[in-house]
Amino acid sequence: MISDGMDRHLTLRERLRIRLHLLMCTGCLQFSRQLDILRMAARTFAERATRKGGQLPYRGTP
């Protein structure tokens, strides 16, 4: 459901359930933070490679 929450609007009830669960589950709390970092990384990844002067991530230039 944490993963789902990154893609759609959760209902108030669903959000509350997650909040309550995160209060007692450090595993899911860290998991949730890691998904945010992963999203940030995916966006930065594309930006970095597109920026001029950045290294091409893959072999084969035109």
Partner 1 sequence: MTEDRGAGSGAIAGEQKYLYRYAITRLRDPDLAEDLVQDTILAAMEASERFQGRASLRTWLVSILRNKIIDALKARTRVVSLETDQSVDESLESEIDQQFDANGRWKMSLRPLAWADPEATLENTEFWTVFERCLEHVPPRTAEVFVLREVLGESIADICKILDISASNCSVLLFRARMRLRGCLDEHWFRGRPRDDR
State in angstroms the smallest separation of the CB of 12 from partner 1: 20
Task: Kindly give, in sequence order, each residue whose CB lies less than 8 Å from that of residue 48, ignoring residues fewer than 6 positions away.
Answer: 54
- Based on the shown chain and the rule CB under 8 A, indicate whether residue 31 belongs to the binding site for partner 1: yes
Which residue in 1, 3, 20 sits closest to 11, CA to CA? 1
60 Ramachandran zone, left/alpha/beta (phi>0; psi -120 to 50):
left
In the list 15, 16, 20, 25, the residue contacting partner 1 (rule: CB under 8 A) is: 25
Number of residues that bind partner 1 (CB under 8 A): 38
Binding site for partner 1 (CB under 8 A): 3-4, 6-8, 25-28, 30-31, 33-35, 37-46, 48-52, 54-62
